[in-house]
């Protein structure tokens, strides 16, 4: 087991390197980078980040624009035409684009090995602090949605397998399939209209994870308030997960129930619950355990953008989208690096969970 874990950990190094290298290469050809956006703002296309980018010295250089003419003609950025070359060079230096791409990539990897992600281009805060600031929302959505989905889907899937073909099985299958077919954001909009003051009842809050004055609440009221804010987002995100996990659990149990060892166990006079939970459960749950890391990562990082937008939750999904749109590369690469590492580690944890469920698995002889 120790040798297998070491091999997997060593394999993470080229995997993360490849992910970062491909992503970095793509950004080199993507139009509208941070330097181009800053120059476009200065030439009148916008003004959202001029103060953050230039500062007082940049303001003095912009004042020279009328006298510079086409002095910036040597820059590779079309938006730099008519701007002082000193200003263009200063912006390129501030964003780190005054160095060759290979040097920038090597420097970025060296910093990331120390978990030094620098500062956001457009926010006066370090990337790590920015991620920490947004993390509670994503943790709340991903963790509770996954736990609740698995906590309901596994017992429901077992019940459906035991009652395969019954009325209970048919109408529960209909419900979960319909829930899976309806997009989560449509469910979110419907819930807002019905229960969050849209057009009918105003039962649940619509914004944030806590109410105003949350810090002054007694602890029990803080707990209730926190979960009260999560009800609608969790329902919106969880319907698809309910369907997938429920049907996977049912099919896994049906496949195991039809095997010879179950017939033998019943022939020995074991009770149905002993057969189901003492023998079938361990084998059938292997597929469910294998899917848990992917479900958690998907809910934690990838599935919450629209939900965060609809319910005004400022989490990692919204942060990632805004960073890509604004070309805030330090945030984009830092989140990609962290999420890639976390995904690989959870994949290893999933394999170890396989062994916990079925000790017969031999990872030492497994080839990668």
Q: pLDDT, tens digit, for every residue of 87-124?
A: 667 766 666 677 788 888 888 888 888 888 888 877 77
Domain range spanning residue 198?
128-357
10 located within any domain: no
Check whether residue 270 and residue 145 sit in a common domain.
Answer: yes
* Prediction pTM value: 0.69
**Which pLDDT value is given to residue 358?**
64
What three-state secondary structure class fits 126? strand
18 located within any domain: no
**Which pLDDT value is given to residue 350?**
74
Question: Which secondary-structure segment (H or E) carries 335?
Answer: helix 329-357
Q: Does residue 45 surpass a pLDDT of 70?
A: no
Average pLDDT, the chain: 76
77 located within any domain: yes
CB-based contact 4:363 (threshold 8 Å): yes
Q: Does residue 82 surpass a pLDDT of 70?
A: no
**Which pLDDT value is given to residue 67?**
41
**Which pLDDT value is given to residue 220?**
92
Check whether residue 103 and residue 218 sit in a common domain.
Answer: no
Q: pLDDT, tens digit, for every residue of 134-192?
A: 888 888 888 888 888 888 888 898 889 888 888 999 999 888 888 888 887 888 888 88
Q: pLDDT, tens digit, for every residue of 292-348?
A: 766 666 666 655 677 888 888 888 878 888 888 878 888 888 888 888 888 788 778
Q: Distance (Å, rounded) from C-alpha 6 to C-alpha 4?
A: 5
List the structure tokens of 194: 């019905």
In which band, very low, low, confident or very high, does the pLDDT at 79 lie, cut at 50, 70 and 90? very low
**Which pLDDT value is given to residue 165?**
85
In which band, very low, low, confident or very high, does the pLDDT at 47 lie, cut at 50, 70 and 90? very low
Check whether residue 104 and residue 192 sit in a common domain.
Answer: no
**Which pLDDT value is given to residue 361?**
65
Q: Does residue 59 surpass a pLDDT of 70?
A: no
**Which pLDDT value is given to residue 254?**
87
- In the Cβ-directed half-sphere of 193, how many Cα atoms lie within 13 Å? 6
Please report, for the domain that includes residue 250, its CATH number.
Answer: 1.10.3720.10
Measured CA to CA in angstroms, residue 63 lies from 39, 50, 67, 82, 83 at distances of: 14, 13, 8, 12, 10
**Which pLDDT value is given to residue 87?**
65
Check whether residue 289 and residue 334 sit in a common domain.
Answer: yes
Q: Domain tally for the chain?
A: 2
Check whether residue 214 and residue 276 sit in a common domain.
Answer: yes
């Amino acid at each position: 087991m120790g040798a297998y874990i070491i091999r997997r950990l060593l394999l993470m190094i080229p995997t993360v390197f490849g992910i970062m290298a491909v992503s970095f290469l793509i950004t080199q050809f993507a139009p509208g980078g941070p330097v181009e956006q800053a120059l476009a703002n200065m030439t009148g296309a916008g003004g959202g980040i001029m103060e953050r980018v230039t500062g007082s010295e940049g303001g003095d250089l912009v004042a020279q624009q009328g006298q510079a003419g086409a002095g910036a003609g040597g820059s590779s950025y079309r938006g730099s035409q008519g701007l002082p070359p000193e200003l263009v060079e200063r912006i390129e230096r501030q964003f780190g684009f005054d160095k060759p791409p290979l040097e920038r990539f090597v420097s970025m990897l060296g910093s990331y090995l120390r978990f030094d992600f620098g500062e956001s281009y457009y926010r006066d805060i370090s990337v790590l602090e920015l991620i920490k600031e947004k993390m509670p929302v994503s943790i709340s959505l991903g963790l509770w949605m996954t736990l609740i989905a698995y906590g309901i889907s596994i017992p429901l899937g077992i019940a459906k397998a035991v009652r395969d073909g019954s009325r209970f099985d048919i109408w529960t299958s209909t419900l979960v399939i319909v829930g899976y077919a309806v997009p989560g954001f449509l469910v979110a909009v419907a819930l807002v209209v019905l229960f969050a003051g849209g057009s009918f009842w105003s039962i649940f809050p619509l914004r944030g994870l806590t109410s105003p004055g949350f810090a002054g609440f007694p602890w029990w009221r803080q707990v209730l308030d926190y979960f009260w804010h999560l009800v609608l987002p969790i329902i919106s995100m969880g319907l698809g997960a309910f369907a997938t996990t429920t049907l996977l659990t049912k099919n896994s149990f049906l496949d195991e129930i039809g095997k010879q060892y179950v017939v033998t166990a019943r022939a020995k006079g074991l009770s149905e619950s002993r057969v189901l939970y003492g023998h079938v459960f361990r084998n059938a749950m292997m597929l469910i355990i294998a899917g848990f890391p992917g479900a958690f990562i998907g809910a934690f990082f990838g599935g919450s953008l629209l939900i965060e937008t609809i319910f005004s939750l400022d989490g990692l999904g919204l942060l990632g989208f805004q960073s890509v749109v604004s070309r805030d590369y330090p945030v984009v690469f830092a989140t990609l690096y962290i999420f890639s590492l976390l995904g690989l580690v959870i994949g290893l944890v999933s394999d170890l969970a396989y062994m916990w469920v079925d000790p017969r698995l031999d990872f030492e002889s497994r080839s990668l």
